[in-house]
Chains A and B, each alone.
Chain A
Amino acid sequence: MTGYEQLAKKLVQSAKKKGAKQAEAFIEIGRQSSCRVREGEIEDLTQATSKGVGLRVITKDHRLGFAYTSDFEPSSLDGFVNRALQLAQAAAPNKLNGLPTGKELGKLGETGDLYDPEVANLAGDWKIKAALEIEKAGKAVDPRITTFDNVGAGDYVSEVYVASSEGMTAGYSGTYVYLFGSPVASENGQLQTSYWVDYKRFLADLDSPEAVGREAARRAVRMLGAKRAKTQQVPVLFDPLVAASFVNNIASTADGNAIYKNSSIFVSKLGKRLAPETVTVVDDGLLKRGLGTAPFDGEGVATRRTALLDKGVLRNYLYDSFTARKAKAKTTGNASRGYNSLPHIGTNNLYLEPGTRTPEELVREVKNGFYVTSMLGSGANPVTGEYSRGANGLWIENGELAHAVQEVTVAGNLLQMLQDLDGIGNDLQFRGSSGAPTLRFKQLTISGD
């Protein structure tokens, strides 16, 4: 048992001794460094260590208190435990308050490795070189790439520990490494930007800096000459980056708490067909080498694979233990948190399963339509299903990408959009912990000229 596991356990015991019925400590330790470059020189180097602990207590009269701190001095931690207990007195008693029980915590699944020693020991100059390569490769793509708004690389090593009075003490370590670039393309007084990023647990899985630089540049350059489109209803494609944000909108709609509170368009839709058979949306906490993979969630519950939409049919909502108890359902291991927040429902690795069609085929079948490559605004309202966002991308004419489009909006309704999903690409990709292939919707409203 590491020192931090012991500390977590000690805090739980201390809270129990001071009168808590249940207690849970969540500790996060992080070490990170990053580098950004500009015009062939280092722009900045950042290095940091951080730590924090959150303590959740439940009193005998069913009240919930929560406190967090980054101060690990023993004298300070003592007051910290008292504070969590005293804060509970300001909250209302609720019989449903409680930590996941031994049974709910479950047997931890097989995650495979989450920690890459190569990332943990990455030399500082690797990041500098990688960032310079991204910039160089991006500029080499096209003379119209005039500069970069942002380009860099970084790594992160984290440790997470949970101890609970219900019989849980566990921890794990993980690594991340990432590359990013957002170049600026310029022509005839018009400036356009885009970005590309890769984010992996293992160095061996990471795209090369050249690939990241080239893709970022390609995406910026193809936006040059962008103009508005006419207001109309047409078939719309989302590229995988944009499609992943749509899949995230679906997950917020399947949030068990929103469902319980009658605040989602997915209420009473369990078991119903909401999308074509080609559509399967999965949250998988055990996905091999996934960025969101972890043995347990934010309250120690074993993570698992949960299909939200299975062949178009709504099969599951996402739950943490509290909401599951409220809804008389079972936790799905989707409690998400940092040390400084109470658990809330979130996703692990969320994705829409790929189809069999190439993105080119999906474009070729469209006579007049819009291929969206980036979006502005927050997106969808899970309560009403309304979807309206600013969009940039490429216009499709007779099955070909014709010219760039900007300053338009796309609008629809989430339920209708799911039904209208008439094309699923074979190009699933993750840029972070959510992923999607190219998606095609039969019809959305474009607003422009």
Chain B
Amino acid sequence: MTRVAKATGLRLGGFILVLWAVATIVFLAMKAIPGDEVDAILGPGSNASDEAVALAIETHGLNKPLVIQYLIQLKSIFTLDWGISFSLDDPVIDVIAEQLPATLTLAFAALGLAWALALVMALISVFGRFPWRIISMIEVVSAALPHFALAIVLIVFFSTWLGVLPPVSTRDPISIVLPALTLALPTAGFLGQVMRESMMDAMEAPFAVSARARGETTIGLFRRHLLRHAILPAISLAGWAFGSLMSGAVVVEEVFARQGIGKTLLSAVGVRDMPLVIGILMVIAAVYCFVTIVVDLVEAAVDPRVGKAA
């Protein structure tokens, strides 16, 4: 019992430490970028009156010393009072609540798609007649593709040429396919490589050889033994994959004109909307930490060795 409490405590401590580090780094980075926050509040280049500027500075506490601003920022983050976005004039919490679901939907759809694609590639290279080196090459290439370039290629191919998928997000759920595919392909390339290696190793392991000697069919071997070996690395990499999907969402949401915190983050950085930038990055960090914890738990459930080692 105490062991569990201790482990949970450590996790929670690490969690808070990560959030604190993110908040601090973002605060310093935003202060270091040239540009005036008053511009962000009043709209860049505005020729606002003295009174308007004074009012804005007072309202947003920009006349206080840097350290105080930092402490106010930290306090507001940990009391979950995330302040008002300079540029949108809405509470940061509300903005995030409005945008997060779209991004999470996209990220999970992409993660699912990446897993499926990676598994298919791994299976083809392990069991198929297709030479695995070619598959491996496809994996390497797709893992190296930048999201932006891939998005344009997919739009031109599926929308402009074939005309089968909408190039931008619409009310139709099908419009999630291209953005999800854009995010999934590079991730699938990477996951596929790892899964294939792991399955190939398992194929040659003594347990697989002995299973075959007992007369196990290929399908049975795959279902009972290899799948688990393929899934394990995919699960342990899920935290990493999810993080990379969240950051990829910044580009993808912009290109496909999708709603989401990625797109919001981009415009918030452009106008130095500090409360909003910090808020969004905190949420991304929190989601990432959360996914990592879930991954640890799932991993322990799938592979008993993991739990014992820890």
- Asked if A and B bind, the verdict is no
